[in-house]
Amino acid sequence: AGMLDLNYNYPSVPGQAELLRSALRQLALSGDLESLLRYQPHGGRLHERASFARHLQTRGLNVPAEQVLIVNGAQHGLTVALMSLLQPGDVIAVDGLTYPGFKALALALHLEVLPIPVTESGPDLDALEQLCRSRSVRAIYSMPTLHNPLGWVMSLEQRQQLVAIARKYDLHIIEDAAYAFLVENPPPPLAELAPERTVYVSGLSKNVAAGLRVGFVAAPPQTIAALERMIRVTAWNTPGIMTSIASAWLDDGTVSRLEVQKRQDAQARQIIADEQLAGLHRVRHPFSYFVWLPLAEDARAEQVVTALLREQISVSTAQPFAVSTHVPHAIRLALGSVDMGALRGALAKVKWVVEACT
């Protein structure tokens, strides 16, 4: 057997390939292929942007189509957001543990990243206020609804406090909602609470399929022209064939159906994780695709990872997620890429290895 990947999440549910097959067939029969072969408007065609705007209403975000731009996946959305709002050398406050793709991006754009201390239930917002007092912070990057890797969902009070700090110090907020679809009825997005300063970024990689590379950005009116310029600079536009399929799936309810299926799938996987990892300290959301496992100080994460590799299981240490030089002793388990049967056995081995290393 090959390596079992508990490192990355590519959640897929049965029948996804069939969906694409019929969408391509539909497009071939009735799509306006001539127009799809031409350059598209930088931010997407308005009727497609309207499909994304309607989708955002289901996420508690009310924005007109003119304030929604279509991009090549959420990573591209984060790229154009940072490029249009910040300059090299600017300071951005980020959770002390965060999405590795953001760390890499901030580094590439020469931004200074300031870690906000984190707890298991959210960022330490009093510490954020201290940072803003002592440094000229320009922006905050936040994942309020299903944080990667810690799985928290910030409460309404926490969101309001974050927004109050952003207003007091005039900060941009970059809200990453890549996994927000997994949470039923979360508090309102930061972009709804502070529409004048929040750029909301998400995509269809986790809720639909990673290969689509279609994402979307919802942003304040005064930032749209700059965002469109950066889409032009980095990619010119999102491929018309992909946006056409994506907006059709948004309109006909396919995306909503897949989101419900993936929520159920993630929940089933967390139940398996609860059974197999019982007795270990776990930080996770019951509907998320990952588990953060803090390790006893004497269990070196590298040791655990190496021992698991010998068992043909790949997991991640805290290193890729850590923004500060202090890297906690922990591993992250991604539950979304292996089938349920293999997951059960893999997690049993994880528990065995963690206990053997302590």
The two beta strands, 172-176 and 137-142, are: parallel
- Chunked into runs of 10 residues, the chain (358 residues) has average pLDDT values of 86 83 88 84 96 97 98 98 98 98 98 97 97 98 98 98 99 98 97 99 89 94 98 94 94 94 96 97 96 90 95 96 92 94 96 93
**Which tokens sit at 299?**
């269990």
CA-to-CA distance for 261 and 18, rounded, in angstroms? 15
pLDDT of 200: 99
Identify the three-state secondary structure at position 151.
Answer: coil
CA-to-CA distance for 318 and 263, rounded, in angstroms? 25
DSSP alpha helices (H): ranges in the chain? 16-30, 33-36, 46-57, 74-85, 100-108, 125-134, 156-168, 190-193, 224-234, 240-251, 254-276, 301-310, 340-357
Beta-carbon count within 10 A of 279 CB: 8
**Model pTM score:** 0.96
Identify the three-state secondary structure at position 198.
Answer: strand
Tell me where in the chain the CATH 3.90.1150.10 domain(s) lie: 4-14+255-357
Selection from 335, 248, 328, 254 nearest residue 291 by Cα: 335
- The continuous run of DSSP H or E covering 236 comes out as none
CA-to-CA distance for 269 and 286, rounded, in angstroms? 9
The CATH code of domain 4-14+255-357 reads 3.90.1150.10
Largest pairwise CA distance in the chain = 63
- Beta bridge partners, 70, equal 216
The domain over range 37-252 is classified in CATH as 3.40.640.10: yes
Unique residue bearing structure tokens 């803090």: 294
- Residue type for position 260: V
> What's the Rg (C-alpha) of the chain?
20
Residue pair 223/67 in contact by the 8 Å Cβ criterion:
no
The two beta strands, 118-119 and 122-123, are: antiparallel
DSSP alpha helices (H): ranges in 109-239? 125-134, 156-168, 190-193, 224-234
CA-to-CA distance for 323 and 222, rounded, in angstroms? 30
pLDDT of 304: 96
How far from chain centre, in Å, is Cα 266? Answer: 15
- Residue type for position 242: M
CA-to-CA distance for 353 and 358, rounded, in angstroms? 9
CA-to-CA distance for 280 and 283, rounded, in angstroms? 10
Residue pair 321/149 in contact by the 8 Å Cβ criterion:
yes
CA-to-CA distance for 123 and 128, rounded, in angstroms? 8
Dihedral pair phi/psi, residue 53, rounded to 5° = -65, -40
Identify the three-state secondary structure at position 241.
Answer: helix
Give 296's DSSP letter. -
Tell me where in the chain the CATH 3.40.640.10 domain(s) lie: 37-252
